[in-house]
Amino acid sequence: MSAAETAPEPADPFLWLEQIDGAEALAWAAERTAETEAAYAGATRDALESRLTGILQDPDRLVVPSRHGDLMYDLWRDADNPRGLWRRTPLADFADGSPVWEVLLDIDALGRDEGRSWAFAGATHGPVGSGRALVRLSPDGGDAAVVREFDLESRRFVEETPFTLGADKHRVSWIDRDTLLVATALHGGGMTDSGYPISARAWRRGERLDDASPIVTGSSSDVGVFVHVDRTAGTATPIVVVAHDFFHSESWVWAGGEPRLIAVPQDAHADVHGEVIAVRTTTPWRIGDTTHPSGTLLLEPVETVTSGDGSDLRVAFTPTDTAVLESWTWTKTRLVLTVLDRVQSRLVSLDPATLMGDDLDLGLGDDDLFSANVATADDDEDDQIWVVARGFLTPPTLLVLDPGAAPRVVDRSRATFDTTGLVAQQHWATSADGTRVPYFEVGPRERAGALPVLMNGYGGFEHALTPEYPTIVGPAWLERGSVYVVANIRGGGEFGPEWHLAALRENRHRAYEDFAAVARDLVARGVSTPDRIACHGRSNGGLLVGNMLTQYPDDFGAIVCGVPLLDMRRYTRLSAGASWIAEYGDPDDPADWEFVKTFSPYHLIEPGRRYPASLIYAAASDDRVGPVQARKMAARMADETDAEVHYLEPVEGGHAGTIDAAATAALHATIHAFLDSTVGRAD
């Protein structure tokens, strides 16, 4: 499309706030933040912050480690180590409930020594027996991180010919002890319009990365190039993924020669495991006379699928009207499926050879609504899986499952709030087009009159909201007799790919109609009244509640909008926004802008209209969505309306919004002070 054909740019008086590190913009953000903090300062807020800090730093809280061979790894944070201790313990000791932790890296001490406020961003372990790992450290909690090679035996960074990379949105994986598969924009790697690497290279120890030849190169319009190495049975299979948009990609298997394309639909999810590829369909896939419906899981040998021959495909899972596949995990001889059935979890263990399987009994009972997921497993070692299960009223519980044995509880989180008299239920609302939309409701079993309600939702990118223990919402909201609601609106993955596809692009309004329908159902059922209903959403969920603020202001009494997308005219030019065009549409295409503008909260503000009170927050270091859309929305609301609007912008924290327990507690204490002053106040 030529420049003359692009959609006209609406007038924007707040473009100056898009200078993320601009002195004037930072001063504005700091002043608004100070005003908000002052407005909600007080003994009640401080007491909640102190309580939440204690919960998040509880020395007896549940540890959910990652397994590598016969060792369990964890990042531990507490009051003395807010950035964390990266540590490990023998598997047998951890399973017996008597771990003896060996500290590998003290992140706080490293930051003090180097004069950098490091945040641990994960580690990629080397091949079995290598004794090495690639440690990722973020300078501010954002997505960009440095990579340093770490010796696990000496517990020091490697000094002789190490693998190191400066801060970037890297993807790195080990091929062998002296070779990495790398996707980085640094050293000539190049960057896409979305800010991710555009090429993948094999980097050998001692070689200049600039001299490493690309294996696969994408284009600037792609989201990015990502890499992974499957190490099933000790054999390294490098995989390069070119993501054309958020939902369409091509995957290549590379074994030192020419990369081979995995011949599956571009919207399918492909997972290489040794000699087998698992493929989950997003839209129906017709092969010969058979059409495999959306959400089907298929298994096929690598050799046949890379040759384009689908004759050996076998069906491992087919969705039903209520049950869909959320994820899958390989063990040494089993394939474990995580299935959502009416938005609650069950685990199924399959024999990949026969595809015969059984539901795994986790012993959870039926007095709560539950979700469960495989937390860690080592598919080279055995069939043991570690599972975390939780409910709205049941703290997270870590179980270990060994073949042929009953599940064993290894540890359980301490309850963070009093659940006496509370009940968790599932209800259904009817959306504008007649679609039935489920939602979870947690609150007092015995009720009298309208109660304050806090709603949460997301509705995007096929991300499902399942039952989750409300570690913070419990003590801050539920314990006082209020109601908490999680809405399973379209755009998410609660009922598989079709639930997501139903709210893409020009159909985005369906997600917002679903959420509003849940709010209205709460009123119709006598749970609350509009002036006592608040909603909180983050990221895409921030866009959701931004549309509640501007399109459904009469249905809510307060809005909490976190790290949000809001300016849908310019979102593709800000941070990683170009990567989400497949979800929302391209505002630079006049045809797309016609529907995108209908859910761009920044452009839906109407001077003179009544709006509920809002608290908008972001982080200066967020390099995924960025803080500028939140800044502009708060500024425009304050300038053009009489609405009550508050703004918070901590410097660190990235897209998570906070970087440690104290910062998390402070943010949520302020959020709940705002909610108390609006929908939570006593009549």
DSSP state of 199: E
Given a contact cutoff of 8 angstroms between Cβ atoms, the answer to whether 616 and 564 are in contact is: yes
What is the structure's pLDDT at 309? Answer: 76
What is the structure's pLDDT at 6? Answer: 67
- Who's near 37: CB < 8 A, 6+ residues apart? 648, 670
Q: What is the DSSP string of 343-359?
A: TEEEEEEE-TTT--EEE
The alpha carbon torsion through 486, 491, 497, 499 (nearest 10 deg) reads: 70
- For residue 374, give both structure tokens: 């495989």
Tell which phi-psi region holds residue 155, choosing left (phi > 0), alpha (psi between -120 and 50) or beta.
left
- The rounded distance, in Å, linking the Cα atoms of 238 and 321 is 37
pLDDT digits (tens, 9 = 90+) for 227-246: 999 999 889 999 999 999 99
- The rounded distance, in Å, linking the Cα atoms of 638 and 491 is 30
Q: Is the dihedral of CA 79, 81, 86, 89 positive or negative?
A: negative
Consecutive H or E run containing 56: helix 43-56
HEC states along 442-505?
Answer: EEECCCCCCCCEEEECCCCCCCCCCCCCCCCHHHHCHHHCCEEEEECCECECCCCHHHHHCCCH
- For residue 605, give both structure tokens: 């503000």
Q: What are the domain boundaries of the chain?
A: 25-53+422-677, 323-413
Q: How far apart are the first and last CA of the chain?
A: 57
The alpha carbon torsion through 674, 675, 677, 679 (nearest 10 deg) reads: 150
Given a contact cutoff of 8 angstroms between Cβ atoms, the answer to whether 487 and 437 are in contact is: yes
Phi then psi for residue 25, to 5 deg, are -65, -40
- Which active-site residues does the annotation give? 539, 655
What is the structure's pLDDT at 10? Answer: 75
| CA distances to 445, 457, 495 from 438, in Å | 19, 12, 10
pLDDT digits (tens, 9 = 90+) for 163-208: 999 999 999 999 999 999 999 999 999 999 999 999 999 999 999 9
What is the structure's pLDDT at 389? Answer: 98
Q: Is the dihedral of CA 287, 292, 295, 299 positive or negative?
A: negative
Coil/strand/helix, residue 188 = coil
What is the structure's pLDDT at 5? Answer: 62
Distance of alpha carbon 95 from its chain centroid, rounded?
28
- The rounded distance, in Å, linking the Cα atoms of 673 and 683 is 16
Helices 661-677 + 43-56 axis angle, to 10 = 140
* CATH number assigned to the domain covering 25-53+422-677: 3.40.50.1820
Q: State if pTM tops 0.85.
A: yes
Kindly report the CA angle at 270 between 144 and 248, in degrees rounded to 5? 65
> 211: exposed, middle or buried (C-beta count within 10 Å: 0-12, 13-18, 19+)?
exposed
Collect the ranges in the chain with pLDDT lower than 50: 1-4, 683
DSSP state of 301: E
Residue corresponding to tokens 């050293």? 187
474-500: b or e for each residue (b if 16 or more CB lie within 10 Å)? bbbbbbeebbbbbbbbbbbbbbbbbbb
Tell which phi-psi region holds residue 633, choosing left (phi > 0), alpha (psi between -120 and 50) or beta.
alpha
Q: Which long-range contacts (CB under 8 A, 24 or more apart) does 384-391 make?
A: 384/331, 385/329, 385/331, 385/336, 386/64, 386/65, 386/67, 386/410, 387/347, 387/360, 387/362, 388/64, 389/345, 389/362, 389/364, 390/467, 390/468, 390/469, 391/364, 391/424, 391/467, 391/469
Hey, how many other C-beta atoms are within 10 angstroms of the C-beta on 103? 13
- Who's near 462: CB < 8 A, 6+ residues apart? 492, 493, 497, 499, 500
- The rounded distance, in Å, linking the Cα atoms of 505 and 592 is 8
What is the structure's pLDDT at 9? Answer: 76
What is the structure's pLDDT at 4? Answer: 41
Given a contact cutoff of 8 angstroms between Cβ atoms, the answer to whether 175 and 181 are in contact is: yes
